């Protein structure tokens, strides 16, 4: 082997090998991460990737998902041209068309619906990707429809709403200064590796952990000083019982409560209903463990907690459960205090990016007035009051029933019909539409239902503005040409707006102009500077926290205080919701004799993220078969062993998967991972088993039956 061959084999960059390294970002997982990447390129192709040293999130490291980027962007089912459907909906037969033809058809069809049924009859939907959402929302508004909505109808927003009701905006943990961390539904080892690293480091420094999870997890094994394992969806009752124990023993911060907290007396009286007489029956947690939790909290006064964007709120009682957990911070005087939970006002994409922006001006200044309410508003009035976008969990119902008004077309970016509870109903709804356009990297089975499919490019093929917590930001540049004729989502939106000549100049000016004028101008920074930067650079000074400053100033709640009793809900008795964080049984009405098990679906797994990575060969090989976890005692009773097949059934449907006997789940609970199209957990769920406060679905608590498959 020659020297050059050796260098080529080792993928060594240099003029002789023709290999160069460019910087980009992984956008496969949560926007809270988006790690820096070195992409090694040869002949315009990515041949290797590695983590980018010095990047504020990953500092050179990459996880099982990040490492999949090369196989992900070159997945065989990448869409390379705009497509027009020629077969039946769902059949997957398409023919390539030009961008001009695609825009023409979309414009014609959306305008037709507008003329026949009004602008509200068109919904604009985004799947899990977030970075282009400001533009998509504005597109909906420019078209005249209030119906912009997204996957956040089932992710994070319920937690955000709980925070808004309680404190006017969200709070983040000041973990470094805490004595105790309340890891409630917290398993970052599978969902957020960088947070896991931080937790492990702080544990070594002496931080105590109270872990509350329905399953045994790496967090319960590696982090917990005390581990509580309640029945799924009973967290509200457990939190109220701990609160009652703290109150009863006087282990609360009374001066703080008197000054900064609203509704304490009624809250305390309500919490007293959860005690030694009933807590084990409701939650499965013995009362001694409630006492142990109260003792741990008392012994470790500075306490913070994790943000649970999903599992705590994935129940029909989820938002209230989450409020009950948060209330523990308020009664112990841990909100807006060093080592507790600090206000982290949202400023970009629902999260705090460390500096204020004028994003909301861009989002709302063109919102149409005098139009019908968005999808889901009548059914979920609190959601509508706090969020104002459509609650997409009501989308399939409205399409199929046509009430309160017809919904006839959907323009989507990255729609995955399988993320909706009773995904079959969503597919039926897509079949019923007059027109459906979907934009994706891959020709998914949801895209098969579209009349027009548009090809989006990956984060390696485009640029993106990316702020990170702590006031730093950068703007990535494409490292390779877009594959085929694919385009960046934001370019698609701006081009369509121009094609349709919608009355919105800032939208038509495009994404980069939005970032410059609504985000960066205030800081005297240009997108060009951020593109030149080797790594994210500081663009605003970091806010220095002062204890009780936000509370002294008055929170953005109606009373200005931390509200244990929501004044917003109190002021709207017609909603039929409770102002206190009341507790209600999570399980549905299915017959417990016919459906003696409980199904929880969606706990995260390290090798996959939703529907994105199951089709990537390397990741798929780590968990090739959809599998359900079942307690060993249940397995023994059913007579099944590792790898045997079981059928999980609900009144909605049935699914056959492999079984994994385990002790991580308690008896009676079936844990199924989500995102597999051939074993779609959501096909088993009821589309109307929703939280009336948030509209969130009960992904984590549905009665089911389990039988052995022969």
Find the residue with minimal CB distance to Mo ion. 155
Peptide bond into 404 cis (omega under 30): yes
Nearest residue (CB) to Mo ion, 188 versus 381: 188
* Residue 123 contact partner, candidates ligand MGD, Mo ion, none, CB within 5 to 8 A by sort of partner: none
Q: What's the min distance (Å) between Cβ of 325 and ligand MGD?
A: 9
Total Cβ atoms within 10 A of residue 664: 18
- Compute the least distance from the CB of residue 549 to ligand MGD, in Å: 30
CA–CA dist 9, 30 (Å, integer): 33
Smallest gap from residue 90 Cβ to ligand MGD (A): 15
Contact between 307 and 159 under an 8 Å Cβ cutoff? The reply is: yes
| Nearest by Cα to 311 from 604, 668, 30 | 604
Residue 283 parent element (H or E): helix 279-283
* Binding positions for ligand MGD, rule: CB under 6 A: 29-30, 65, 127-129, 151, 154-155, 184-185, 187, 190-192, 212-215, 217, 230, 232-233, 235, 308-312, 314, 413-414, 416, 419, 439-442, 444, 456, 489, 600-606, 608-612, 674, 681-682, 699-700
Q: Which is nearer to Mo ion, 129 or 304 (CB)?
A: 129
What b/e sequence results for 558-572 when a residue is b if at least 16 CB atoms lie within 10 Å of its CB, and e otherwise? Answer: ebbbbbbbbbbbbee
Q: Which of 240, 378, 237 is nearest to 317 (CA)?
A: 237
Residue 26's contacts (CB-CB under 8 Å, 6 or more residues apart) are 33, 34, 35, 37, 62, 65, 66, 69, 459
Question: What tokens does 582 get?
Answer: 């009341």
- Nearer to ligand MGD by Cβ, of 46 and 579: the residue is 46
Question: Residue 668 CB, nearest distance to ligand MGD (Å)?
Answer: 14
Query: CB under 5 to 8 A by kind: which of ligand MGD, Mo ion, none does 214 bind?
Result: ligand MGD
Report the residue number, 155 or 195, with the smaller CB distance to Mo ion. Answer: 155
Q: Among ligand MGD, Mo ion, none, what binds residue 600 when CB lies within 5 to 8 Å by partner kind?
A: ligand MGD
Binding site residues, Mo ion, CB under 5 A: 155
Tokens of 20: 């160069």
Q: Which is nearer to ligand MGD, 245 or 464 (CB)?
A: 464
What is the total residue count of the chain?
Answer: 710
Q: Between 356 and 478, whose beta carbon lies closer to ligand MGD?
A: 478
In whole angstroms, how close is the CB of 185 to ligand MGD at the nearest point? 3
- Among 405, 407, 449, CA closest to 430: 449
Q: Which residue lies nearer to Mo ion by CB, 419 or 577?
A: 419
Rounded Cα–Cα distance for residues 125 and 146 (Å): 11
What are residue 382's phi and psi, to 5 degrees?
-70, -45
Q: Which residue is nearest to ligand MGD (CB)?
A: 602
- With a CB cutoff of 8 Å and minimum separation 6, the contacts of 255 are none
Residue 104 Cα distances to 120, 327, 337, 418, 554, angstroms = 20, 53, 56, 29, 52
CB of 700 to Mo ion, least distance (A): 13
DSSP type of residue 125: E
What's the closest the beta carbon of residue 488 comes to ligand MGD, in angstroms? 8
CB-wise, 155 or 452, nearer to Mo ion?
Answer: 155
In the list ligand MGD, Mo ion, none, the entry touching 215 (Cβ below 5 to 8 angstroms by class) is ligand MGD
| Min separation Cβ 190 and Mo ion, Å | 13
């Amino acid at each position: 082997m020659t020297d050059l061959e050796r260098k080529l084999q080792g993928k060594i960059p240099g003029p002789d090998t023709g290999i160069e390294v460019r910087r980009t970002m992984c956008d496969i997982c949560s926007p809270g991460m988006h790690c820096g990447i070195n992409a090694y390129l040869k002949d315009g192709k990515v041949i290797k990737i590695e983590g980018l040293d010095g990047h504020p999130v990953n500092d050179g490291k990459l996880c099982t998902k990040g490492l999949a980027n090369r196989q992900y962007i070159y997945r065989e089912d990448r869409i390379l041209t705009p497509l027009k459907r020629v077969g039946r909906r769902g059949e997957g037969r398409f023919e390539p068309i030009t961008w001009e033809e695609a825009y023409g058809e979309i414009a014609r069809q959306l305008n037709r619906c507008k003329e026949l049924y009004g602008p509200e009859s068109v919904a604009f939907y985004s799947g899990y990707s977030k970075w282009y959402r400001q533009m998509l929302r504005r597109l909906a508004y420019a078209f005249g429809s209030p119906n912009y909505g997204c996957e956040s109808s089932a992710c994070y927003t319920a937690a955000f709403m709980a925070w808004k009701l309680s404190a006017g905006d969200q709070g983040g943990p000041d973990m470094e200064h805490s004595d105790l961390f309340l890891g409630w539904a917290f398993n970052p080892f599978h969902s957020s590796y960088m947070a896991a690293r931080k937790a492990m480091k702080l544990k070594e420094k002496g931080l105590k952990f109270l872990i509350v999870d329905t399953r045994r997890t790496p967090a319960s094994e590696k982090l917990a000083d005390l581990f509580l394992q309640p029945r799924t969806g009973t967290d509200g009752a457990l939190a109220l019982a701990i609160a009652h124990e703290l109150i009863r023993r006087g282990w609360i911060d009374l001066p703080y409560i008197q000054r900064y907290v609203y509704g304490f007396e009624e809250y305390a009286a309500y919490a007293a209903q959860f005690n030694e007489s009933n807590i084990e029956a409701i939650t499965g947690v013995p009362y001694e463990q409630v006492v142990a939790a109260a003792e741990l909290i008392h012994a470790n006064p500075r306490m913070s907690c994790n943000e649970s964007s999903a599992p705590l709120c994935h129940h029909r009682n989820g938002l209230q459960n989450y409020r009950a957990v948060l209330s523990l911070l308020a009664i112990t005087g841990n909100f807006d205090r060093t080592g507790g939970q600090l206000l982290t006002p949202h400023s970009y994409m629902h999260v705090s990016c460390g500096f204020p922006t004028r994003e909301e001006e861009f989002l709302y200044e063109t919102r149409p007035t005098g139009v019908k309410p968005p999808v889901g508003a009548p059914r979920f009035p609190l959601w509508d009051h706090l969020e104002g976008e459509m609650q997409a969990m009501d989308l399939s119902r409205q399409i199929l029933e046509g009430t309160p008004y017809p919904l006839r077309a959907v323009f989507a970016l990255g729609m995955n019909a399988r993320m909706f509870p009773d995904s079959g109903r969503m597919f039926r709804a897509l079949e019923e539409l007059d027109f459906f356009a979907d934009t994706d990297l891959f020709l998914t089975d949801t895209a098969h239902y579209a009349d027009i499919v548009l090809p989006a490019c990956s984060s390696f093929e485009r640029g993106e503005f990316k702020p990170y917590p702590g006031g730093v930001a950068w703007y990535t540049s494409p490292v390779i040409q877009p594959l085929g004729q694919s385009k960046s989502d934001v370019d698609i939106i701006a081009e369509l707006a121009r094609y349709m000549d919608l009355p919105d100049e800032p939208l038509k000016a495009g994404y980069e102009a939005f970032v410059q004028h609504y985000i960066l101008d205030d800081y005297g920074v240009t997108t060009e500077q951020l593109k030149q930067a080797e790594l994210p650079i500081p663009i605003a000074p970091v806010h220095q926290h002062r204890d009780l400053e936000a509370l002294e100033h008055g929170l953005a709640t109606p009373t200005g205080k931390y509200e244990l009793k929501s004044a917003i809900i109190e002021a709207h008795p017609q909603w039929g919701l409770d102002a206190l964080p009341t507790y209600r049984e999570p399980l549905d009405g299915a017959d417990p004799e016919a459906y003696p098990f409980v199904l929880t679906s969606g706990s995260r797994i390290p090798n996959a993220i939703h529907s994105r990575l199951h089709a990537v060969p390397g990741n798929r090989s780590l968990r090739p078969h959809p599998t359900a976890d079942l307690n060993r005692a249940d397995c023994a009773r059913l007579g099944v062993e590792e790898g045997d097949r079981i059928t999980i059934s609900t009144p909605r449907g049935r699914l056959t998967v492999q079984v994994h006997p385990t002790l991580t789940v308690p008896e009676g609970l079936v844990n199924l991972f989500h995102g597999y199209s051939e074993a779609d957990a959501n096909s088993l769920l009821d589309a109307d088993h929703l939280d009336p406060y948030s509209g969130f679905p009960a992904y984590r608590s549905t009665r089911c039956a389990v039988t052995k498959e022969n």
